[in-house]
Chains A and B, each alone.
Chain A
Amino acid sequence: MTQVDAVAPRPALPWIRLDGPEPFVEGRLCRACGARTAATRLACPACGARDSIETYRAPTTGRLHAYSIVRRSYPGVPVPFVSAIVDLDDGLTLKGNLINVAPEPGALRIGMPVRMVFGDALGRTDKDGASYVAFFFEPSA
Protein backbone atom coordinates (compact mmCIF):
# COMPACT_ATOMS: atom_id res chain seq x y z
CA MET A 1 0.00 0.00 0.00
CA THR A 2 1.40 3.37 -0.94
CA GLN A 3 0.72 6.42 1.08
CA VAL A 4 1.44 10.03 0.20
CA ASP A 5 3.48 11.64 2.92
CA ALA A 6 1.56 14.49 4.50
CA VAL A 7 3.34 17.79 3.98
CA ALA A 8 4.41 19.14 7.36
CA PRO A 9 2.69 22.38 8.47
CA ARG A 10 4.70 25.50 7.76
CA PRO A 11 5.01 28.78 9.66
CA ALA A 12 2.69 31.46 8.28
CA LEU A 13 5.22 34.17 9.14
CA PRO A 14 9.02 33.87 9.09
CA TRP A 15 9.24 34.61 12.83
CA ILE A 16 6.95 31.78 13.88
CA ARG A 17 9.07 28.79 15.01
CA LEU A 18 7.68 25.27 14.82
CA ASP A 19 10.79 23.32 15.80
CA GLY A 20 10.13 23.27 19.56
CA PRO A 21 7.60 21.32 21.61
CA GLU A 22 5.15 24.20 21.12
CA PRO A 23 5.03 26.88 18.42
CA PHE A 24 6.49 30.19 19.48
CA VAL A 25 7.40 33.61 18.11
CA GLU A 26 11.10 34.25 17.85
CA GLY A 27 11.94 37.89 18.48
CA ARG A 28 15.16 39.76 17.85
CA LEU A 29 16.82 41.91 20.48
CA CYS A 30 19.65 44.39 20.08
CA ARG A 31 22.24 43.88 22.85
CA ALA A 32 23.47 47.43 22.27
CA CYS A 33 20.25 49.41 22.70
CA GLY A 34 17.50 46.95 23.65
CA ALA A 35 15.37 47.48 20.52
CA ARG A 36 13.16 44.55 19.55
CA THR A 37 11.88 43.47 16.15
CA ALA A 38 10.16 40.41 14.78
CA ALA A 39 11.83 40.56 11.36
CA THR A 40 15.54 40.06 10.74
CA ARG A 41 17.61 43.15 9.90
CA LEU A 42 21.18 43.56 8.65
CA ALA A 43 21.94 45.93 11.53
CA CYS A 44 19.90 47.29 14.43
CA PRO A 45 17.26 49.64 12.95
CA ALA A 46 17.19 51.69 16.16
CA CYS A 47 20.90 52.31 16.80
CA GLY A 48 22.69 51.01 13.72
CA ALA A 49 24.85 48.59 15.71
CA ARG A 50 26.17 45.60 13.77
CA ASP A 51 26.46 42.05 15.04
CA SER A 52 24.39 43.07 18.07
CA ILE A 53 21.19 41.14 17.38
CA GLU A 54 20.29 38.02 19.34
CA THR A 55 17.15 35.92 19.06
CA TYR A 56 14.86 35.10 21.96
CA ARG A 57 11.54 33.46 22.67
CA ALA A 58 8.82 36.13 22.81
CA PRO A 59 6.29 36.10 25.66
CA THR A 60 2.68 35.17 24.91
CA THR A 61 0.95 37.86 26.94
CA GLY A 62 0.46 41.51 26.18
CA ARG A 63 -2.01 44.35 25.77
CA LEU A 64 -4.20 45.63 22.96
CA HIS A 65 -2.58 48.80 21.65
CA ALA A 66 -4.94 49.56 18.74
CA TYR A 67 -7.50 47.79 16.58
CA SER A 68 -9.89 48.05 13.69
CA ILE A 69 -13.05 46.02 13.13
CA VAL A 70 -12.77 45.03 9.48
CA ARG A 71 -16.11 44.71 7.73
CA ARG A 72 -14.94 44.94 4.12
CA SER A 73 -11.71 43.36 2.94
CA TYR A 74 -10.43 41.94 -0.33
CA PRO A 75 -12.68 39.58 -2.28
CA GLY A 76 -12.85 36.15 -0.65
CA VAL A 77 -11.61 37.23 2.78
CA PRO A 78 -14.26 36.39 5.42
CA VAL A 79 -15.44 39.37 7.50
CA PRO A 80 -15.92 40.69 10.09
CA PHE A 81 -12.71 40.21 12.03
CA VAL A 82 -10.78 42.28 14.53
CA SER A 83 -7.38 43.42 13.29
CA ALA A 84 -5.30 44.02 16.40
CA ILE A 85 -1.98 45.65 17.23
CA VAL A 86 -0.63 44.02 20.38
CA ASP A 87 2.30 45.10 22.53
CA LEU A 88 3.72 41.97 24.16
CA ASP A 89 4.92 42.28 27.75
CA ASP A 90 8.56 42.60 26.65
CA GLY A 91 7.82 45.45 24.22
CA LEU A 92 7.72 43.47 20.98
CA THR A 93 4.74 44.51 18.82
CA LEU A 94 2.78 42.02 16.70
CA LYS A 95 -0.31 42.28 14.53
CA GLY A 96 -2.94 39.59 14.42
CA ASN A 97 -6.60 38.69 14.56
CA LEU A 98 -8.20 39.18 17.96
CA ILE A 99 -10.53 36.19 18.37
CA ASN A 100 -13.05 34.94 20.92
CA VAL A 101 -14.47 38.42 21.34
CA ALA A 102 -17.47 40.15 19.72
CA PRO A 103 -16.37 42.33 16.77
CA GLU A 104 -18.01 45.39 18.34
CA PRO A 105 -16.47 48.58 19.74
CA GLY A 106 -18.27 47.96 23.05
CA ALA A 107 -16.48 44.63 23.54
CA LEU A 108 -13.01 46.01 22.85
CA ARG A 109 -10.92 48.25 25.04
CA ILE A 110 -7.53 49.73 24.18
CA GLY A 111 -5.14 48.41 26.83
CA MET A 112 -7.08 45.20 27.51
CA PRO A 113 -4.87 42.20 28.36
CA VAL A 114 -4.60 39.54 25.65
CA ARG A 115 -2.75 36.27 25.15
CA MET A 116 -1.26 34.75 22.02
CA VAL A 117 -2.52 31.35 20.89
CA PHE A 118 -1.33 29.27 17.95
CA GLY A 119 -3.49 27.36 15.50
CA ASP A 120 -4.11 26.37 11.91
CA ALA A 121 -4.05 29.30 9.46
CA LEU A 122 -7.83 29.28 8.87
CA GLY A 123 -7.57 26.32 6.49
CA ARG A 124 -5.35 28.17 4.01
CA THR A 125 -2.92 25.93 2.10
CA ASP A 126 -0.26 26.63 -0.50
CA LYS A 127 0.40 25.13 -3.93
CA ASP A 128 2.14 22.12 -2.31
CA GLY A 129 -0.97 21.44 -0.24
CA ALA A 130 0.86 22.40 2.94
CA SER A 131 -1.09 23.80 5.86
CA TYR A 132 0.24 26.69 7.92
CA VAL A 133 0.45 27.61 11.58
CA ALA A 134 -0.51 31.15 12.63
CA PHE A 135 -0.86 33.02 15.89
CA PHE A 136 -4.00 34.74 17.12
CA PHE A 137 -4.82 36.84 20.15
CA GLU A 138 -7.67 36.39 22.61
CA PRO A 139 -8.78 38.30 25.70
CA SER A 140 -7.00 36.98 28.79
CA ALA A 141 -8.92 38.59 31.65
Chain B
Amino acid sequence: MSENVYILGIDMLKFGKYPDRTFAQLGGEAALLALDDAGLAVHDVQALYCGSVFGAYDMTGQAIMREIGQTGIPVTNISNACATGASAFREAWIAVKSGLYDVVLAVGVEKMPRGMLGAGHETGIPLEGLFGSASMPAVFAESGMEHAGQYGTTFEQFAKVSVKNHHHSTMNPKAVYQKETPLEEVMGSEMIAYPNTKLMCSVNVDGAAAAVVVSEKKARQLGLTRAIRVLASALASDPWNPRNPIMPDVNGCTRLAASSAYEQAGIDPRDVSLVELHDCFATAELLHYENLQLCGLGEAGRMIDDGVTALGGRVPVNVSGGLLSKGHPLGATGIANMYEVALHLRGEAGARQVRGARVGLTHVVGLGTAAAVHLFEKA
Protein backbone atom coordinates (compact mmCIF):
# COMPACT_ATOMS: atom_id res chain seq x y z
CA MET B 1 0.00 0.00 0.00
CA SER B 2 1.26 3.48 -0.86
CA GLU B 3 1.14 5.85 2.10
CA ASN B 4 0.33 8.84 -0.04
CA VAL B 5 -0.85 9.18 -3.63
CA TYR B 6 0.13 12.13 -5.80
CA ILE B 7 -0.81 13.83 -9.03
CA LEU B 8 2.52 14.33 -10.74
CA GLY B 9 1.22 15.61 -14.07
CA ILE B 10 -2.13 17.03 -15.10
CA ASP B 11 -3.49 19.03 -18.03
CA MET B 12 -6.59 19.71 -20.10
CA LEU B 13 -7.46 20.83 -23.61
CA LYS B 14 -9.27 24.13 -24.03
CA PHE B 15 -12.95 23.20 -23.97
CA GLY B 16 -14.87 23.85 -27.19
CA LYS B 17 -16.29 22.16 -30.27
CA TYR B 18 -13.98 19.65 -31.96
CA PRO B 19 -16.12 18.22 -34.78
CA ASP B 20 -13.09 16.96 -36.71
CA ARG B 21 -11.36 15.18 -33.81
CA THR B 22 -12.17 11.73 -32.41
CA PHE B 23 -12.62 10.79 -28.75
CA ALA B 24 -9.25 9.03 -28.91
CA GLN B 25 -7.46 12.02 -30.43
CA LEU B 26 -8.81 14.39 -27.79
CA GLY B 27 -8.16 11.98 -24.93
CA GLY B 28 -4.75 11.04 -26.33
CA GLU B 29 -3.66 14.67 -26.61
CA ALA B 30 -4.68 15.36 -23.00
CA ALA B 31 -2.82 12.19 -21.91
CA LEU B 32 0.38 13.31 -23.66
CA LEU B 33 0.15 16.77 -22.10
CA ALA B 34 -0.27 15.23 -18.65
CA LEU B 35 2.70 12.88 -19.24
CA ASP B 36 4.79 15.86 -20.36
CA ASP B 37 3.76 17.73 -17.23
CA ALA B 38 4.96 14.76 -15.16
CA GLY B 39 8.13 14.27 -17.17
CA LEU B 40 7.13 10.69 -17.95
CA ALA B 41 6.59 8.65 -21.13
CA VAL B 42 3.87 6.23 -22.16
CA HIS B 43 6.20 3.32 -21.28
CA ASP B 44 6.12 4.41 -17.64
CA VAL B 45 2.32 4.06 -17.43
CA GLN B 46 1.17 0.78 -15.85
CA ALA B 47 -2.60 1.14 -16.19
CA LEU B 48 -5.19 3.48 -17.74
CA TYR B 49 -8.66 4.36 -16.50
CA CYS B 50 -10.63 6.22 -19.16
CA GLY B 51 -13.82 8.09 -18.29
CA SER B 52 -16.33 8.95 -21.01
CA VAL B 53 -20.13 8.98 -21.04
CA PHE B 54 -20.72 8.91 -24.77
CA GLY B 55 -17.49 7.09 -25.68
CA ALA B 56 -17.49 4.33 -23.06
CA TYR B 57 -19.22 1.75 -25.30
CA ASP B 58 -16.58 2.25 -27.97
CA MET B 59 -13.53 1.20 -25.91
CA THR B 60 -12.21 4.76 -25.98
CA GLY B 61 -9.40 4.01 -23.51
CA GLN B 62 -7.87 1.37 -25.78
CA ALA B 63 -8.27 3.71 -28.76
CA ILE B 64 -6.31 6.33 -26.79
CA MET B 65 -3.46 3.80 -26.37
CA ARG B 66 -3.47 3.28 -30.15
CA GLU B 67 -2.91 7.06 -30.44
CA ILE B 68 -0.10 7.33 -27.88
CA GLY B 69 1.56 3.89 -27.73
CA GLN B 70 0.16 0.34 -27.47
CA THR B 71 2.11 -1.01 -24.51
CA GLY B 72 -0.47 -3.66 -23.63
CA ILE B 73 -1.27 -2.29 -20.16
CA PRO B 74 -4.67 -2.95 -18.55
CA VAL B 75 -7.23 -0.38 -19.73
CA THR B 76 -10.66 0.10 -18.18
CA ASN B 77 -13.46 2.28 -19.53
CA ILE B 78 -15.71 4.04 -17.06
CA SER B 79 -19.09 5.72 -17.39
CA ASN B 80 -20.72 7.33 -14.34
CA ALA B 81 -22.81 10.26 -15.65
CA CYS B 82 -21.33 13.66 -14.75
CA ALA B 83 -19.10 12.00 -12.14
CA THR B 84 -17.36 9.98 -14.88
CA GLY B 85 -13.99 11.79 -14.96
CA ALA B 86 -13.72 11.89 -11.18
CA SER B 87 -14.66 8.19 -11.03
CA ALA B 88 -11.88 7.33 -13.50
CA PHE B 89 -9.44 9.37 -11.40
CA ARG B 90 -10.64 7.59 -8.27
CA GLU B 91 -10.00 4.17 -9.84
CA ALA B 92 -6.46 5.32 -10.65
CA TRP B 93 -6.08 6.50 -7.04
CA ILE B 94 -7.30 3.14 -5.71
CA ALA B 95 -4.93 1.27 -8.04
CA VAL B 96 -1.95 3.25 -6.75
CA LYS B 97 -3.10 3.40 -3.13
CA SER B 98 -3.43 -0.39 -3.10
CA GLY B 99 0.24 -0.72 -3.95
CA LEU B 100 -0.46 -2.59 -7.19
CA TYR B 101 0.95 0.14 -9.45
CA ASP B 102 3.28 3.15 -9.16
CA VAL B 103 2.16 5.11 -12.25
CA VAL B 104 -1.42 5.15 -13.48
CA LEU B 105 -3.06 7.42 -16.02
CA ALA B 106 -6.61 8.76 -15.68
CA VAL B 107 -8.23 10.36 -18.74
CA GLY B 108 -11.62 12.02 -19.05
CA VAL B 109 -12.83 12.73 -22.57
CA GLU B 110 -16.12 13.73 -24.17
CA LYS B 111 -17.71 14.66 -27.43
CA MET B 112 -21.20 15.90 -26.71
CA PRO B 113 -24.41 15.39 -28.69
CA ARG B 114 -26.24 18.65 -29.47
CA GLY B 115 -29.22 19.94 -27.54
CA MET B 116 -30.55 19.48 -24.02
CA LEU B 117 -29.90 16.31 -22.10
CA GLY B 118 -32.55 14.29 -20.28
CA ALA B 119 -35.97 12.72 -21.01
CA GLY B 120 -36.94 9.09 -21.44
CA HIS B 121 -39.85 6.76 -22.16
CA GLU B 122 -41.53 4.74 -19.41
CA THR B 123 -44.31 3.55 -21.70
CA GLY B 124 -45.27 3.75 -25.37
CA ILE B 125 -45.53 7.54 -25.60
CA PRO B 126 -43.06 10.37 -24.92
CA LEU B 127 -43.48 11.66 -21.38
CA GLU B 128 -41.74 15.04 -21.63
CA GLY B 129 -44.23 17.83 -21.00
CA LEU B 130 -46.83 15.28 -19.86
CA PHE B 131 -45.48 14.53 -16.39
CA GLY B 132 -43.49 17.71 -15.99
CA SER B 133 -40.02 17.89 -17.49
CA ALA B 134 -37.08 15.53 -17.33
CA SER B 135 -34.82 18.05 -19.08
CA MET B 136 -31.74 18.88 -17.04
CA PRO B 137 -32.45 22.65 -16.84
CA ALA B 138 -35.89 21.91 -15.36
CA VAL B 139 -34.72 19.18 -12.99
CA PHE B 140 -32.06 21.46 -11.52
CA ALA B 141 -34.49 24.38 -11.49
CA GLU B 142 -36.76 22.27 -9.29
CA SER B 143 -33.87 21.54 -6.91
CA GLY B 144 -33.25 25.28 -6.71
CA MET B 145 -36.92 26.01 -6.09
CA GLU B 146 -36.91 23.46 -3.27
CA HIS B 147 -34.17 25.55 -1.68
CA ALA B 148 -36.14 28.73 -2.43
CA GLY B 149 -39.17 27.22 -0.69
CA GLN B 150 -37.14 26.29 2.38
CA TYR B 151 -34.93 29.36 2.72
CA GLY B 152 -36.32 32.13 0.52
CA THR B 153 -33.48 31.98 -2.01
CA THR B 154 -34.23 34.30 -4.94
CA PHE B 155 -33.94 34.22 -8.74
CA GLU B 156 -31.44 37.07 -8.41
CA GLN B 157 -29.23 35.13 -6.01
CA PHE B 158 -29.17 32.15 -8.37
CA ALA B 159 -28.36 34.49 -11.27
CA LYS B 160 -25.42 36.01 -9.34
CA VAL B 161 -23.69 32.61 -9.52
CA SER B 162 -23.61 32.90 -13.28
CA VAL B 163 -22.33 36.51 -13.16
CA LYS B 164 -19.50 35.39 -10.88
CA ASN B 165 -18.47 32.32 -12.85
CA HIS B 166 -18.57 34.11 -16.20
CA HIS B 167 -16.39 36.84 -14.66
CA HIS B 168 -13.90 34.25 -13.45
CA SER B 169 -13.69 32.69 -16.93
CA THR B 170 -12.45 35.98 -18.42
CA MET B 171 -9.14 35.07 -16.78
CA ASN B 172 -9.08 31.45 -18.02
CA PRO B 173 -7.83 30.97 -21.59
CA LYS B 174 -8.94 27.30 -21.50
CA ALA B 175 -12.59 28.20 -20.84
CA VAL B 176 -14.84 28.08 -23.90
CA TYR B 177 -16.09 31.63 -23.11
CA GLN B 178 -14.20 34.65 -21.75
CA LYS B 179 -17.08 37.08 -21.50
CA GLU B 180 -18.54 39.19 -18.71
CA THR B 181 -22.29 38.73 -18.21
CA PRO B 182 -23.80 41.45 -15.99
CA LEU B 183 -26.75 40.53 -13.75
CA GLU B 184 -29.35 42.14 -16.05
CA GLU B 185 -28.01 40.13 -18.97
CA VAL B 186 -28.11 36.85 -17.04
CA MET B 187 -31.63 37.45 -15.70
CA GLY B 188 -32.83 38.80 -19.06
CA SER B 189 -31.46 36.05 -21.28
CA GLU B 190 -33.84 33.44 -22.69
CA MET B 191 -35.78 31.70 -19.92
CA ILE B 192 -35.23 27.96 -20.36
CA ALA B 193 -36.76 26.57 -17.16
CA TYR B 194 -37.51 29.11 -14.45
CA PRO B 195 -35.42 30.15 -12.64
CA ASN B 196 -32.66 28.93 -15.00
CA THR B 197 -32.10 31.26 -17.96
CA LYS B 198 -29.87 30.29 -20.86
CA LEU B 199 -26.86 31.97 -19.22
CA MET B 200 -27.53 29.92 -16.08
CA CYS B 201 -27.09 26.61 -17.95
CA SER B 202 -23.70 24.95 -18.44
CA VAL B 203 -22.14 25.04 -21.88
CA ASN B 204 -22.38 21.98 -24.14
CA VAL B 205 -18.81 21.44 -25.40
CA ASP B 206 -16.25 18.75 -26.17
CA GLY B 207 -13.08 18.36 -24.16
CA ALA B 208 -10.49 16.19 -22.48
CA ALA B 209 -8.34 16.24 -19.37
CA ALA B 210 -5.82 13.78 -17.95
CA ALA B 211 -3.86 13.15 -14.78
CA VAL B 212 -0.79 11.04 -14.00
CA VAL B 213 -1.27 9.46 -10.58
CA VAL B 214 1.81 8.11 -8.79
CA SER B 215 2.81 6.38 -5.57
CA GLU B 216 4.84 7.86 -2.70
CA LYS B 217 7.87 5.90 -3.87
CA LYS B 218 7.63 7.18 -7.45
CA ALA B 219 6.95 10.77 -6.38
CA ARG B 220 10.02 10.82 -4.13
CA GLN B 221 12.10 9.29 -6.93
CA LEU B 222 10.98 11.91 -9.47
CA GLY B 223 10.84 14.88 -7.11
CA LEU B 224 7.97 16.48 -5.24
CA THR B 225 8.49 20.03 -6.52
CA ARG B 226 5.24 20.19 -8.44
CA ALA B 227 3.48 17.16 -6.96
CA ILE B 228 -0.06 17.45 -5.60
CA ARG B 229 -0.95 15.19 -2.69
CA VAL B 230 -4.39 13.53 -2.81
CA LEU B 231 -5.78 14.07 0.69
CA ALA B 232 -9.08 12.32 0.08
CA SER B 233 -11.04 10.53 -2.61
CA ALA B 234 -14.73 9.93 -1.91
CA LEU B 235 -17.54 8.61 -4.07
CA ALA B 236 -21.17 8.15 -3.02
CA SER B 237 -24.41 6.99 -4.58
CA ASP B 238 -27.83 8.34 -3.68
CA PRO B 239 -28.94 7.29 -0.20
CA TRP B 240 -32.67 6.71 0.42
CA ASN B 241 -34.71 9.88 0.17
CA PRO B 242 -38.48 9.58 -0.15
CA ARG B 243 -38.67 11.95 -3.17
CA ASN B 244 -35.77 10.46 -5.11
CA PRO B 245 -35.75 9.53 -7.99
CA ILE B 246 -39.11 11.18 -8.84
CA MET B 247 -37.20 14.31 -7.84
CA PRO B 248 -33.51 13.46 -8.39
CA ASP B 249 -31.54 14.19 -5.22
CA VAL B 250 -28.14 15.76 -5.81
CA ASN B 251 -27.83 16.82 -2.17
CA GLY B 252 -27.80 13.54 -0.25
CA CYS B 253 -24.97 11.88 -2.14
CA THR B 254 -22.90 15.08 -2.28
CA ARG B 255 -23.21 15.40 1.50
CA LEU B 256 -22.16 11.77 1.97
CA ALA B 257 -19.12 12.17 -0.27
CA ALA B 258 -18.14 15.46 1.37
CA SER B 259 -18.33 14.08 4.92
CA SER B 260 -16.29 11.07 3.88
CA ALA B 261 -13.66 13.27 2.21
CA TYR B 262 -13.25 15.61 5.19
CA GLU B 263 -12.97 12.62 7.49
CA GLN B 264 -10.35 10.91 5.30
CA ALA B 265 -8.29 14.08 5.07
CA GLY B 266 -8.75 14.93 8.73
CA ILE B 267 -9.45 18.56 7.89
CA ASP B 268 -12.17 21.08 8.61
CA PRO B 269 -14.24 22.58 5.77
CA ARG B 270 -12.88 25.98 6.88
CA ASP B 271 -9.39 24.83 5.85
CA VAL B 272 -10.40 24.71 2.16
CA SER B 273 -8.78 27.50 0.10
CA LEU B 274 -10.70 27.01 -3.14
CA VAL B 275 -13.44 24.84 -4.61
CA GLU B 276 -14.31 23.63 -8.09
CA LEU B 277 -17.86 22.33 -7.75
CA HIS B 278 -20.59 21.04 -10.04
CA ASP B 279 -22.36 24.20 -11.27
CA CYS B 280 -24.15 22.39 -14.10
CA PHE B 281 -26.87 25.00 -13.56
CA ALA B 282 -26.65 28.19 -11.53
CA THR B 283 -29.32 26.84 -9.15
CA ALA B 284 -27.06 23.89 -8.28
CA GLU B 285 -24.04 25.89 -7.12
CA LEU B 286 -25.82 27.42 -4.13
CA LEU B 287 -27.06 24.01 -2.95
CA HIS B 288 -23.53 22.68 -2.98
CA TYR B 289 -22.17 25.51 -0.77
CA GLU B 290 -24.26 23.89 1.93
CA ASN B 291 -23.74 20.27 0.83
CA LEU B 292 -19.96 20.77 0.91
CA GLN B 293 -20.21 22.52 4.31
CA LEU B 294 -18.78 25.80 3.02
CA CYS B 295 -21.64 27.43 4.96
CA GLY B 296 -24.54 26.34 7.13
CA LEU B 297 -27.95 25.20 5.85
CA GLY B 298 -29.92 28.12 4.42
CA GLU B 299 -26.89 30.42 4.26
CA ALA B 300 -25.92 29.95 0.59
CA GLY B 301 -27.93 32.93 -0.67
CA ARG B 302 -26.17 35.27 1.70
CA MET B 303 -22.82 33.71 0.79
CA ILE B 304 -23.20 34.65 -2.88
CA ASP B 305 -24.57 38.12 -1.93
CA ASP B 306 -21.52 38.79 0.25
CA GLY B 307 -19.00 37.78 -2.42
CA VAL B 308 -17.47 35.10 -0.18
CA THR B 309 -17.15 32.68 -3.12
CA ALA B 310 -15.80 35.17 -5.67
CA LEU B 311 -12.08 35.45 -6.42
CA GLY B 312 -10.68 37.48 -3.52
CA GLY B 313 -13.34 36.14 -1.14
CA ARG B 314 -12.79 33.74 1.76
CA VAL B 315 -13.37 30.58 -0.31
CA PRO B 316 -13.42 31.23 -4.06
CA VAL B 317 -15.68 28.80 -5.95
CA ASN B 318 -15.24 27.94 -9.61
CA VAL B 319 -12.47 30.42 -10.40
CA SER B 320 -12.00 28.45 -13.65
CA GLY B 321 -15.37 29.78 -14.82
CA GLY B 322 -17.07 26.57 -13.80
CA LEU B 323 -19.26 24.41 -15.95
CA LEU B 324 -21.31 27.54 -16.65
CA SER B 325 -18.55 29.27 -18.62
CA LYS B 326 -15.53 26.97 -18.89
CA GLY B 327 -17.91 24.33 -20.30
CA HIS B 328 -19.16 20.88 -19.35
CA PRO B 329 -17.98 17.94 -21.47
CA LEU B 330 -19.40 15.35 -19.06
CA GLY B 331 -16.61 12.77 -18.88
CA ALA B 332 -13.82 15.37 -18.91
CA THR B 333 -15.27 17.69 -16.28
CA GLY B 334 -14.11 15.86 -13.16
CA ILE B 335 -10.42 15.82 -14.10
CA ALA B 336 -10.58 19.36 -15.50
CA ASN B 337 -11.78 20.49 -12.05
CA MET B 338 -8.69 18.84 -10.55
CA TYR B 339 -6.45 20.54 -13.12
CA GLU B 340 -7.78 23.91 -11.98
CA VAL B 341 -7.16 23.14 -8.32
CA ALA B 342 -3.65 21.86 -9.14
CA LEU B 343 -2.82 25.13 -10.95
CA HIS B 344 -3.67 27.14 -7.83
CA LEU B 345 -1.86 24.83 -5.41
CA ARG B 346 1.23 25.08 -7.64
CA GLY B 347 0.85 28.86 -7.87
CA GLU B 348 0.56 28.70 -11.66
CA ALA B 349 -2.97 30.07 -12.19
CA GLY B 350 -1.93 33.50 -13.50
CA ALA B 351 -4.45 36.34 -13.23
CA ARG B 352 -7.00 34.21 -11.39
CA GLN B 353 -4.54 32.78 -8.85
CA VAL B 354 -6.11 32.26 -5.43
CA ARG B 355 -3.43 33.72 -3.18
CA GLY B 356 -2.03 31.43 -0.52
CA ALA B 357 -4.02 28.43 -1.79
CA ARG B 358 -3.16 25.43 0.40
CA VAL B 359 -6.08 22.99 0.14
CA GLY B 360 -8.37 22.55 -2.88
CA LEU B 361 -11.67 20.67 -3.15
CA THR B 362 -13.22 19.27 -6.31
CA HIS B 363 -16.79 18.04 -6.65
CA VAL B 364 -18.96 16.56 -9.36
CA VAL B 365 -22.38 14.97 -9.23
CA GLY B 366 -24.13 13.03 -11.96
CA LEU B 367 -27.82 12.19 -11.94
CA GLY B 368 -28.65 8.60 -11.36
CA THR B 369 -26.81 9.36 -8.98
CA ALA B 370 -23.05 9.59 -8.32
CA ALA B 371 -21.17 12.26 -6.38
CA ALA B 372 -17.40 12.52 -6.05
CA VAL B 373 -15.42 14.79 -3.74
CA HIS B 374 -11.63 15.01 -3.74
CA LEU B 375 -9.30 17.05 -1.54
CA PHE B 376 -5.78 18.06 -2.55
CA GLU B 377 -2.80 19.91 -1.12
CA LYS B 378 0.60 20.90 -2.46
CA ALA B 379 3.19 18.27 -1.53
Contacts and interface: CB of A to CB of B under 8 A. Distances in A.
A52 interface: no
Interface string B109-129: 000000110010011111111
Classify chain A: how many residues form its interface, as a range.
35 or more
Interface in A41-65: 45-46, 65
A19 to B, nearest CB: 16
Contacts of A82: 132
Contacts, number: 145
Given A10-B124, A91-B242, A124-B125, A70 B193 contact: yes
Contact of A13 (B131, B190, B193): B131
B194 A71 contact: yes
A65 B115 CA distance: 28
A110 B124 CA distance: 32
Interface in B112-163: 115-116, 119, 122-133, 135, 137-139, 141-143, 145-146, 148-149, 155
Contact of B243 (A79, A85, A126): A85
A71 B247 CA distance: 19
A139 B242 CA distance: 23
A11 B138 contact: no
B124 A74 contact: no
Contacts of A110: 145-146, 148-149
Interface string A121-141: 110111110101011000000
A119 B11 CA distance: 54
Contacts of A13: 122-123, 127, 131
Classify chain B: how many residues form its interface, as a range.
35 or more
B129 A72 contact: no
B59 interface: no
A111 B150 CA distance: 10
Interface string A69-95: 111111001110111110100010111
Name, among B125, B149, B240, the residue most crowded by chain A CB atoms within 10 Å (CB to CB): B125
B246 A45 contact: no
Interface in B202-229: none
Contact of B242 (A81, A93, A97, A124): A93
Contacts of B190: 71-72
A93 B246 contact: yes
A59 to B, nearest CB: 15
B94 interface: no
Nearest to A67: B145
B192 interface: yes
B146 A132 contact: no
Contact of A68 (B126, B131, B138): B138
B143 A66 contact: yes
B125 A121 contact: yes
A12 B130 contact: yes
B41 interface: no
Contacts of A126: 123-125
A35 to B, nearest CB: 7
A68 B196 CA distance: 9
Given A13-B123, A71-B194, A130-B124, A95 B240 contact: no
B131 A74 contact: no
B149 to A, nearest CB: 3
A70 B139 CA distance: 10
Nearest to A134: B130
B345 to A, nearest CB: 37
B191 interface: yes
A40 to B, nearest CB: 12
A84 B125 CA distance: 20
B301 to A, nearest CB: 15
Nearest to B149: A110
16 contacts: A12-B122, A12-B125, A13-B122, A36-B242, A68-B132, A68-B139, A68-B193, A70-B132, A73-B133, A73-B138, A93-B243, A97-B130, A110-B148, A124-B125, A124-B126, A128-B124
Interface of A: 10-14, 35-36, 38, 45-46, 65-74, 77-79, 81-85, 87, 91, 93-97, 105, 110-111, 121-122, 124-128, 130, 132, 134-135
Given A68-B141, A96-B131, 4 more contacts: A11-B123, A73-B138, A77-B129, A124-B125
Ranked nearest first, the 9 interchain pairs of A and B with the lowest CB-CB distance are A110-B149, A83-B132, A126-B124, A68-B141, A69-B194, A77-B129, A66-B146, A83-B133, A124-B125
